[in-house]
Chain A
Amino acid sequence: MTQENQDGVHSHAGFVGVHSHEGGAPHWHDEFGEHLFEDLSAEEFAARQLDWRKHNVQIVTVGIDIGSSTSHLMFSKIYMQLVGEAPDVRAVTVAREILYQSPIWLTPYLPDNTIDMMALDEYFAEAYGAVDATREHIDTGAIILTGEALKKVNARTIATLFAREAGQFVVASAGHHMEAVLAANGSGTVARSRRDQRTLLNVDIGGGSTKLALVLDGHVIATAAVAIGARLIARDAEGRLTRIDGPARTVADELGITLTPGEPLAPEDERRIVQTWTDVIAGLVQRKPPEGLAAKLMLTDPLPDSPRAQAMTFSGGVSEYIFQREETDFGDLGLPFAKAIRNALNRNTFGLPAIVDPNLGIRATAVGASQFDVQGGVNAYVTDESTLPMMNVPVLAPGFELGDTTPPEVIAASIRESLTRADLDEGAQPVALSFTVGGNDLPDALLRTLADGIRSALPITTSGSAPLVLVVNQGFANRFVMPNQDFHILKEQRPALRLGMLLKEDLGVACDVVAMESVHLSEFDFIDIAQMMHPSEVVPVTVKSLLFAGGMDRRSVKQALIDAALKR
């Protein structure tokens, strides 16, 4: 759709590169602005087209969210801009068109309390039918599995459902920590915190649990979860209890309430239960150390005492009721629970100065995955080439600052924290550790500290249970190195090579090591590493990133482009 005003300036509803209208003058638009017509020659037009295609990618992606209470999926068209020159390229998603959103389904269960895969597959087939797409039309996808039951029982089964797309689809089984981080990203709280340089607390209240994520200047710095959720108690149309989960019994016992399947829940008892839930969440938001009932309901450690959040955001199914976007009773405690929370918010019981509505509620999650190939491949040190190719290796981005006085313990703790955030068990699968080190000179002593920290954080991996993937970014200094350059110069400029050799040859780790220079990666990225190419000794790398519903507002996108351009 094109809109034109009297000055001959026009804009498009979608996102377009170099183009012309009905044989008119070729011209182009950036992702925001309106550009005046430019008279381009055929050669200039072709050059611009080529440049545009090199730096702009469009893909169709699907995000499938399977939770313990509800499931949904969404098809989107993604417009990505590649900022920077290979290999240090950053992909920024600049626009998203929603092609189709499924309804929110109650996740179907079999009598043995596992997910009914047949029923789920039928929902998905219906959704594909609705967009008139076959599975070949989809470039990428992300399947997010949440809820403890799913993680333990069904993850593999569900992954096989999408076996046909195994390559393009990333599958993340999210435990409490990762769920909290996904919700903070999905709701746009992370993007908002980065954009506004604020400390925010996202509270995601779902069917089975409540997840808290503390976000400082765009980084999730702490997460916590508690067994409070609207569907821990469910009832039929007549109000008779049909589901009473353990944590709901814990609360009822504490309050002296008897919950009996097939019996109704007295309104006064219902009020007391939702009020107790609200009080526990308020206590956690205020960072009171959980005691008594609150301690019993905790699924993780509580959040640290500081820093204090400047505002709170809500996501998850219950937030739809809090903000009164949804008023349908789904046979659980969603409505009364939200009313109790709303009253508490109106009276500022949560003790935070502001509440921001991220506007995404139950759909505050991953909406798919972006994907791009690093042009020309990446310089790599590989101890055993038969390790490659590797697919969908999850990326960890530990957040320490490497300085002269950083002890290896700090590095190890930071790596372990990043494993926790991703809910990954050390040694159970390969992981890619991504570091950014500053400055031109990287002394051996510093690299040795880094190597010691890695070995101590990953004892199982380094004893040979899985290959270790390392990615080292050296800010501005590190550039693509031509293979015919003198090895000593080459070595100086290749911190990943040096780190890999240190680990393998000096420290003698038993695992295979794949160490790559300068690929910009973030947490929740997954990478495919293809077989090494000779004689250039580079490996082709594909970066897949989880895409989130939030953070697509104009100001956040602008901030992301600036950050990418400045390599922040």
Chain B
Amino acid sequence: METTHQHGHAERSHHTEDWHDEDIVNRWLERNKERAPQRRRQFVALRAFIPKSAEQEFRYLNLGAGPGNLDVVLLEHFPGANAVVLDTSLTMLNAARKELATFGERVEYIQADLSTPDWTGAVAGPFDFIISTRVIHHLRDPKRIRELYGEVRGLTGHGGTFLNLDYVRPARAELARLSEWITRDAEADFSGAPHNVADMPGTLQEHLGWLSEAGFGTVEVYWKQMDLALLSGINGHLHMPWGHGDDPARGHSDGHSH
């Protein structure tokens, strides 16, 4: 493990950051403003995988919502969406409360710590979507992450989807070096991407295995950009806005209904 600690600049600070200190959270919030545009693009790319029409009502839970940047992207786009935003830091949630004030009662705020299963005591399912972005790796302990996937599965309704956007560890340690190497090709535009991911708690394969083990019938990688992957676990069948079958608006339907 010592070698891995020699990498790592940007994300190293996670290990020492105390999310329970109001001043530290306020400094993080300040830094967060700078990277907001890049993250917004990623959040939109996550949003695209939510098969709901504008009129449809649905309910989602955001685990580790931070200042609510993802929720702005979702709630603006889906007028029928209602959110439960959860974070371990009350100060962070207060920032989300300001950010999401315009959505009024569509948003519910819960402070809870994901490091034990107790958080489920405050949250009542079922949810159509449970979403988490760049949060679960903070738990560090693979055993706890596997448990958490089980807890998430328990709160996911029939046809519900868990979307987890997070860093994954490369399959082999030496692949981490590629993360730096690829930034040398300017035209490929991988700049700004490198992260120290060698000490992330799970590889892509491991996460997919844990999701299956938690009871998600379908597990998939929707996209992966460098070491950041959008993983999904679907409980039962995916529900499209028009029900089962093809989108009638696209003319793929053969005229028979099922």
List B contacts of A129 (CB < 8 A). none
Q: How large is the interface on B (under 10, 10 to 19, 20 to 34, 35 or more residues)?
A: 20 to 34
Docked pose: A196 CA to B127 CA in angstroms: 13
Tell me whether A346 and B20 are in contact in the complex, defined as CB-CB below 8 angstroms, given that A324-B97, A359-B105 are known contacts: yes
Interface segment, A43-51, A348-356, A450-458, A493-501? A348-356
B94 at the interface (CB under 8 A from A): yes
Q: B94 touching A196 by the CB < 8 A rule?
A: no
B212 at the interface (CB under 8 A from A): no
Tell me whether A324 and B122 are in contact in the complex, defined as CB-CB below 8 angstroms, given that A355-B111, A359-B109 are known contacts: no
B21 at the interface (CB under 8 A from A): yes
Q: B124 touching A348 by the CB < 8 A rule?
A: no
Minimum distance in angstroms from B86 CB to a CB of chain A: 8
Q: A346 touching B21 by the CB < 8 A rule?
A: yes
List B contacts of A324 (CB < 8 A). 94, 97-98
Q: Which of A310, A348, A553 contacts B122 (CB 8 A)?
A: A310
Docked pose: A5 CA to B241 CA in angstroms: 15
Contact flags B76-114 to A (C-beta < 8 A → 1, else 0): 000000000000011101100110000001001111110
Tell me whether A354 and B110 are in contact in the complex, defined as CB-CB below 8 angstroms, given that A196-B124, A311-B121 are known contacts: yes
Docked pose: A198 CA to B123 CA in angstroms: 9
Tell me whether A357 and B97 are in contact in the complex, defined as CB-CB below 8 angstroms, given that A310-B122, A342-B91, A346-B91 are known contacts: yes
Docked pose: A356 CA to B111 CA in angstroms: 6
B11 at the interface (CB under 8 A from A): no
A372 at the interface (CB under 8 A from B): no
Q: B94 touching A346 by the CB < 8 A rule?
A: no
A325 at the interface (CB under 8 A from B): yes
Docked pose: A347 CA to B123 CA in angstroms: 20
B55 at the interface (CB under 8 A from A): yes
- B118's nearest neighbour on chain A, judged by CB, is A353
Docked pose: A30 CA to B84 CA in angstroms: 26
Minimum distance in angstroms from B103 CB to a CB of chain A: 11
Q: Which of A322, A346, A354 contacts B121 (CB 8 A)?
A: A354
Minimum distance in angstroms from A285 CB to a CB of chain B: 14
Q: B121 touching A198 by the CB < 8 A rule?
A: yes
- A344's nearest neighbour on chain B, judged by CB, is B90
Q: B90 touching A353 by the CB < 8 A rule?
A: no
B43 at the interface (CB under 8 A from A): no
List B contacts of A339 (CB < 8 A). 22
Q: A357 touching B110 by the CB < 8 A rule?
A: yes
B32 at the interface (CB under 8 A from A): no
Q: Which of B22, B98, B116 contacts A343 (CB 8 A)?
A: B22
Docked pose: A196 CA to B122 CA in angstroms: 9
B190 at the interface (CB under 8 A from A): no
Q: B124 touching A323 by the CB < 8 A rule?
A: no
- B88's nearest neighbour on chain A, judged by CB, is A346
Minimum distance in angstroms from A419 CB to a CB of chain B: 32
List B contacts of A198 (CB < 8 A). 121-122, 124
List A contacts of B105 (CB < 8 A). 359, 553
Tell me whether A357 and B121 are in contact in the complex, defined as CB-CB below 8 angstroms, given that A346-B20, A346-B21 are known contacts: no
Docked pose: A554 CA to B19 CA in angstroms: 33
A195 at the interface (CB under 8 A from B): yes
Q: Which of A310, A342, A348, A354 contacts B22 (CB 8 A)?
A: A342
Q: Which of A195, A197, A354 contacts B111 (CB 8 A)?
A: A354
Q: A353 touching B110 by the CB < 8 A rule?
A: no
Q: Which of B90, B97, B98, B121 contacts A342 (CB 8 A)?
A: B90
- A197's nearest neighbour on chain B, judged by CB, is B124
A388 at the interface (CB under 8 A from B): no
Q: A348 touching B110 by the CB < 8 A rule?
A: no
Minimum distance in angstroms from A124 CB to a CB of chain B: 27
- A192's nearest neighbour on chain B, judged by CB, is B124
Tell me whether A357 and B122 are in contact in the complex, defined as CB-CB below 8 angstroms, given that A5-B55, A347-B20 are known contacts: no
B119 at the interface (CB under 8 A from A): yes
Docked pose: A353 CA to B25 CA in angstroms: 20
A345 at the interface (CB under 8 A from B): yes
Docked pose: A359 CA to B98 CA in angstroms: 12
Docked pose: A354 CA to B90 CA in angstroms: 10
Minimum distance in angstroms from B114 CB to a CB of chain A: 10
Docked pose: A195 CA to B121 CA in angstroms: 13
List B contacts of A311 (CB < 8 A). 110, 112, 121-122
Q: A348 touching B90 by the CB < 8 A rule?
A: no
List B contacts of A322 (CB < 8 A). 90
Q: B21 touching A356 by the CB < 8 A rule?
A: no
- B121's nearest neighbour on chain A, judged by CB, is A310
Minimum distance in angstroms from A549 CB to a CB of chain B: 11
Minimum distance in angstroms from A564 CB to a CB of chain B: 20
Docked pose: A355 CA to B89 CA in angstroms: 10
Q: B93 touching A357 by the CB < 8 A rule?
A: yes
Docked pose: A133 CA to B109 CA in angstroms: 36
Q: Which of B1-51 contact A (CB under 8 A)?
A: 19-22, 25
Docked pose: A323 CA to B91 CA in angstroms: 8
Minimum distance in angstroms from B120 CB to a CB of chain A: 9
Q: Which of B91, B116, B122 contacts A356 (CB 8 A)?
A: B122
- A343's nearest neighbour on chain B, judged by CB, is B22
Docked pose: A553 CA to B121 CA in angstroms: 20
Q: A346 touching B122 by the CB < 8 A rule?
A: no
List B contacts of A355 (CB < 8 A). 90, 110-112, 122
- A353's nearest neighbour on chain B, judged by CB, is B118
List A contacts of B124 (CB < 8 A). 195-198
5 CB < 8 A contacts A-B: A5-B55, A311-B121, A324-B94, A324-B98, A354-B121
Q: CB within 8 Å of B: which residues of A?
A: 5, 195-198, 310-311, 322-325, 339, 342-343, 345-348, 353-357, 359, 553
With A310-B122, A354-B118 given, name 13 new contacts (CB 8 A): A310-B121, A323-B97, A323-B109, A345-B90, A347-B20, A348-B113, A353-B112, A353-B119, A353-B122, A354-B112, A354-B119, A355-B111, A357-B108
- 4 nearest CB pairs, A to B: A310-B121, A354-B122, A353-B118, A196-B124
